[in-house]
A and B are shown apart, each in its own frame.
Chain A
């Protein structure tokens, strides 16, 4: 992914072309404008980690550049930094504003005007505003801001013709009172009024660019800007009706636990039906088995074998069991791609409808106890799709501490969809008490690990502080485009890692390291986990792909207890090699090694504990007592949570979020 911290942004601007920059808050319908002007489409996500690619296109002889949706420009996150730099380099800014949320949106408008760049405002969602009983005096707004304001309804293309004819009437507007003088003082030092503004607003990056210490006037300027925006709104907005709409009521229900939990369960159930049953079963059956393994793999094997035999070393690497051309391609395109598309589809749906921030609000309490905040729910849900994808998504978490915890928990406790498929199949043949044992043990490990990490890591995770946009029906074309963009970026980023992983494993296989590890592990498997010697092979295969590990168990003759012990161990065991590579890429070597190493320890510790406890509680006969084992784990979890609470009390509280 191109992280373009422009001015290094690589956009070819032909000589004489003007830079028209699209800017606006998240979910203002900006993408429709971009599409209309350039004929291209764009991702409209308002979550970090997804909009870092900047779209641009030609409009006549000029260039239109899109920016991520932001509430203001500064250095608070990547989106803002990128939006800031693009806006500062603009010849004119087309600012898309939601008429229904003028108070919030005009803050950015005023900030852009304060940079001194020529601005034209598209007052979008006029239809929504009307429906909500909001009237905006457009002419007065234009007068107060000092820039042209064109009312639009983007989805119906209303107002677009006028916008096109008046686009170049964009002009610098009226700055926040008092700012002009302050800026003039700095202008000869900095040279650009926009950058001078950001130096005043304590932007460390821009200040450093000019060898200046950032000023300390941000809050004061923000406050004056907010006052001005409020005064403008007071003058131009007239509310004709007030009252809760259906969307407002539903939005509230989604947050209250009593109604929110059932709604969330319903949404997850729908997701399970669509992804777990339809995609993982029907679609993957076709893509993986029929197409890739049935047609593609034999064809590529036959082709390669014309040049090199499969049994040779390059043959093993290319078309062997973990071959670069066979397993990697099949896995990526046949298995992973449909699942990833499915998960991203739901994520985009939740995001565009405004449901996602409400899920985050609902589960915030639970996640704070394991050191995350509500937003941590996104990587966790995605983890059930693909841990590699989820690990990449942790970029949206606000602090490094949260990323650490999330990545650790993902690697340790979340079984990905490929593995879940095999596990569910094996669990289904056992009784419900065994399923409960499996689920509760994994859950208790998640809680214990999260609580411990959250207590032992220094600092405190950021508190939830998010905007709840109004609920709305998502537009299918938007959701599909977004799904497409996200899936494409994931595959582009992950494919080389999957290939590298396959290469490493093939090397292990050729050099005999794989066999060596299996023998090394065997005593532990037999003596501690009470499993047959051959189960070690399954675990080692789990290093490659988690579902390989699980699938390796199906061939063994195991008692129900042995099955559960094996499944628990394989779930907690190290993430697949692609995930590990992503962890190494995203984190320091030391941390990645720690995560990988502790997965080994925790997996065998917990698996063995279950095996030994079960033996302890049922000394004679083969009837296994599940309940005592569950109770021991529950007690253990409570003990750890209690201890952590005590430790946290004892520690001085520095509770102030960053």
Chain B
């Protein structure tokens, strides 16, 4: 499954992030592959907002479509 399919309030584990630069930036924000995050908002057809602890990140739809996740925690 990919991140853009997540619904608000669902939790998921990030399996893979496509680009190396995005991975590096995500690691800085505190979100690594293998991490469990909460999908806290989905703008219809727009970005997905995920959170881990108090860190929130908005991810554009096109990118979210390429982030592999494993749902339901």
Contact = CB atoms under 8 A, between A and B. Distances in A.
Interface in A196-245: 218-219, 222-223, 225-226, 229-230
Interface stretch (A262-270, A462-470, A551-559): A462-470
Interface string A242-271: 000000000110011100000000000000
Interface in B26-70: 26-30, 32, 40-41, 43-47, 49, 52-63, 65-66
25 contacts: A103-B53, A104-B28, A104-B29, A104-B30, A132-B54, A222-B28, A226-B32, A255-B41, A255-B43, A255-B58, A257-B43, A361-B43, A368-B62, A373-B60, A374-B47, A464-B63, A465-B57, A466-B58, A467-B56, A468-B49, A655-B65, A656-B18, A656-B19, A657-B18, A657-B62
Contacts of B56: 251, 467-468
B62 A467 contact: no
Q: Which 5 A-B pairs have the closest CB atoms?
A: A463-B60, A464-B60, A365-B46, A463-B63, A468-B56
B19 A365 contact: no
Given A107-B27, A255-B43, A465-B22, 8 more contacts: A104-B30, A364-B58, A364-B61, A365-B43, A368-B61, A464-B63, A465-B58, A468-B57
Given A104-B30, A464-B59, A470-B54, A361 B49 contact: yes
B28 A72 contact: yes
Contacts of B52: 103
A467 B29 contact: yes
Given A368-B60, A374-B58, A657-B19, A464 B47 contact: yes
A76 interface: yes
A658 interface: yes
B62 A107 contact: no
Interface string A42-83: 000000000000000000000000000001101010000000
Contact of B41 (A71, A252, A463, A657): A252
Which of B19, B25, B58, B66 has the most C-beta atoms of chain A within 10 angstroms of its own C-beta?
B58
Nearest to A218: B24
Contacts of A107: 27-28, 30
A357 B22 CA distance: 18
A360 interface: yes
A338 B26 CA distance: 40
A437 interface: no
How would you classify the secondary structure of chain B's contact residues: helix, strand, loop or mixed? mixed
Chain A's interface size range is 35 or more
A524 to B, nearest CB: 42
A373 B26 CA distance: 18
Contact of A76 (B21, B45, B61, B65): B21
Contacts of B63: 463-465, 657
A364 B30 contact: no
A103 B25 CA distance: 14
Contacts of A72: 24, 28
A362 B41 CA distance: 11
A101 interface: yes
A398 to B, nearest CB: 10
Contacts of A132: 54
Contacts of A22: none
B60 to A, nearest CB: 3
A222 B59 contact: no
